Amino acid sequence: MKIHREGKKIIPIALIILLLIGLVLFLLIRQYLIFYILLAGIVFLFGMIVWFFREPRIEIQHQKNQVLSVADGDVVAIEPHFEREYFKDERIQVSVFMSVFNVHINRIPIDGEIVFKQYRKGRYLPAFIAKSSEENERCTTVIKTENGEKILVRQIAGLLARRVITYYEKGDKVKQSAQLGFIRFGSRVDVFLPKNAKIEVKLHHKVFGGKTVIATLD
């Protein structure tokens, strides 16, 4: 199993902390049965942290005029929405919620150029509720295609997520399915599409970042 680069920063720190907790428990708890049960819990937690940062291999197939899902997860919203930060008009919003069990790599939905990027601090409301899109910590990235269409991607921190990471800057050329960034421990991604886009998914569908077609552009 390949570990994502973000995990290589966190996993050693987590290991040290868990080892220290294990040492303290060993010194304080005299009943070996209870100690071994707690130790098993620590080992399980470490395994979950390693698994969370997994980076599965995907076969990239470019889909011209098709918008791919940015993230693995469940579709929790498909609706017209007035986007206030960049477009300042109504777009079609498709939102994907990532639980702690999903791969948390975010991927570029379509070929193009980054024309806007804005990080904002905010709250840490549960990512599955609608107002988290505008109130939580987030990073908004707008991609302009060669046909002039603009797709807005908003990475949103959640109740457990405390870090939104985006790898590209304004002016960068990007390729569909390349890694856009990463969100740690549960989160949400909103994609804002032109109103004439044909939506290819339905509510509660499971989608996969860089694979599932969520919309087709005219």
Task: Tell me how far apart the alpha carbons of residues 182 and 139 are, in angstroms, rounded to a whole number.
Answer: 11
List strand residue ranges (DSSP E) for the chain, in order.
66-68, 73-83, 89-98, 105-107, 112-120, 138-144, 150-157, 164-166, 173-174, 179-183, 187-193, 198-199, 206-207, 213-216
C-beta separation of 55 from 3 below 8 A? yes
Same domain, 161 and 186: yes
Tell me which residue has tokens 């988290």: 132
What is the reported pLDDT for 47? 92
Q: In what order do the strands lie in the sheet with 73-83?
A: 173-174, 112-120, 138-144, 150-157, 187-193, 89-98, 73-83, 206-207
Contacts of 117 (CB under 8 A, 6+ apart): 139, 140, 141, 142, 166, 168, 169, 170
Task: Give the domain CATH number at 125.
Answer: 2.70.70.10
Catalytic sites, residue numbers = 187
Q: List, for residues 30-69, the tens digit of each pLDDT value.
A: 788 888 888 899 999 999 889 888 888 887 767 788 999 9
Q: Is 60 within a domain?
A: no
pLDDT-based confidence at 162, cuts 50/70/90?
low
Asked whether residue 83 is assigned to any structural domain, the reply reads yes
178 and 101 within one domain: yes
The answer on 83 and 39 residing in a single domain is: no
Q: Is residue 191 part of a domain?
A: yes
Residues 37 and 87 in one domain: no
- Residue 89 domain flag: yes
Band of residue 157 on the pLDDT scale cut at 50, 70, 90: confident
Q: Give yes or no: residues 167 and 141 share one domain.
A: yes
Question: Picking from 119-128, 145-154, 172-181, which range would have the lowest pLDDT averaged per residue?
Answer: 119-128
> Quick one: 32 and 128 in the same domain?
no
Each residue of 63-102: pLDDT tens digit? 788 999 999 999 999 999 999 999 999 999 999 998 888 9
- Confirm whether 141 is domain-assigned: yes
| Structural domain count, the chain | 2
pTM: predicted TM-score of the whole model, two decimal places = 0.85
Q: Is residue 76 in some structural domain?
A: yes
Same domain, 70 and 48: no
Instruction: With respect to residue 169, please indicate whether it lies within any of the assigned structural domains.
Output: yes
Residues 85 and 141 in one domain: yes
pLDDT at 109 over 70: yes
Are 169 and 212 contained in the same domain? yes
Q: Is it the case that residue 159 has pLDDT exceeding 70?
A: no
What letter would DSSP give residue 77? E
Mean pLDDT of 127-140: 67
59 within domain boundaries:
no
The mean per-residue pLDDT over the stretch 113-133 comes to 73
CB atoms within 10 A of CB 49: 17
Say whether both 13 and 40 belong to one domain. Answer: yes
User: For 58-62, 137-141, 180-184, 208-212, which range has the lowest pLDDT when averaged over its residues?
Assistant: 58-62
Strands 187-193 and 112-120: unpaired
Whether residue 92 is found in the same domain as residue 19: no
Alpha helices in the chain (DSSP H): 5-28, 32-52, 132-135
Query: Alpha carbon of 65 to those of 62, 112, 157, 176, 181: distances in Å?
Result: 9, 11, 29, 11, 22
DSSP-derived letter for residue 24 is H
Residues 10 and 43 both lie in one domain: yes
Q: Domain range spanning residue 204?
A: 66-216
